[in-house]
Amino acid sequence: GNRSSTVRRVHAVNRAALTQAIKWRLVSHNVALDATPPPLRPADIESPDPEDVEKLVKAGFESMDPVSGVLLYLAAVTGARRGELCGLKWSDINWETGMLTIARSADDKGIKPGQPALIKETKTYKVRTIPLDPLTLDELKRHREWLTDGPGPNVTEDTYIFSDGNGNVRPMRPDHASYVCESAAKTAGVDIHFHQLRHYHASQSIGAGFDPVAVAHRLGHSNPATTMRIYAKALPAQSAQIAASVAGTIRLPERKPALTGG
């Protein structure tokens, strides 16, 4: 069935169009006002545990190949969307500043198996640049060296970090990225699908108390309210810490002993 948000968007467009039609006297009644769109409920998202994500990444490296391991690891530490990871080129990494630019996305919806994915803009049509930590940068350097020393074609700035194997000039198909995660999860004995690695990144960030605006930018959400709505489940754990922290800012006066009634 349709997602609530999609139904609500369609309803809003129809309502606006019919409101205009009344002004133009094309219709006498706005039937959209009689409809009741479904309530908008936040998605109930399960975020995997760190131990399970670690098992998944380990299975990627050890049971499959370094490409699979690095792909799953990068998904968890950047929170990038599946198509965005498949669309990454080596030129998107600035080794001096440690910044990663997410500028495009690979899409294979409706494209037959074996055919290359299309390259398009990101979901929100925005380019974002996010910092990578030194450990991740080192891992990506090792990965590039491994690819360079391998029997495959030359690795250049213009080749994809995750390719479909045909000369590194075509991006990995997103459906293959999902297959990689599925296979590694089966080997590791964990229940994690690819998109949950994005949820993992967000939940860990918000649960650790990081600013939702910064988390929203890292995830490529156009509005931090989206981040908060989706990941509200990560917040209750902080409530007790907030209570103690705020209470600790106010020193209570010492009480005088209560007067005894005579």
The string of pLDDT tens digits covering residues 135-157 is 999 999 999 999 888 777 788 89
Q: What is the pLDDT of residue 5?
A: 67
Determine the straight-line distance between the first and last CA of the chain, rounded to whole angstroms: 74
pLDDT tens digits, 197-231: 999 998 888 878 788 889 888 999 888 887 877 77
Lowest mean pLDDT among 41-50, 92-101, 163-172, 201-210: 41-50
Mean pLDDT of 156-165: 88
Give the pLDDT band (50/70/90) at residue 1: very low
* Average model confidence (pLDDT) across the chain: 86
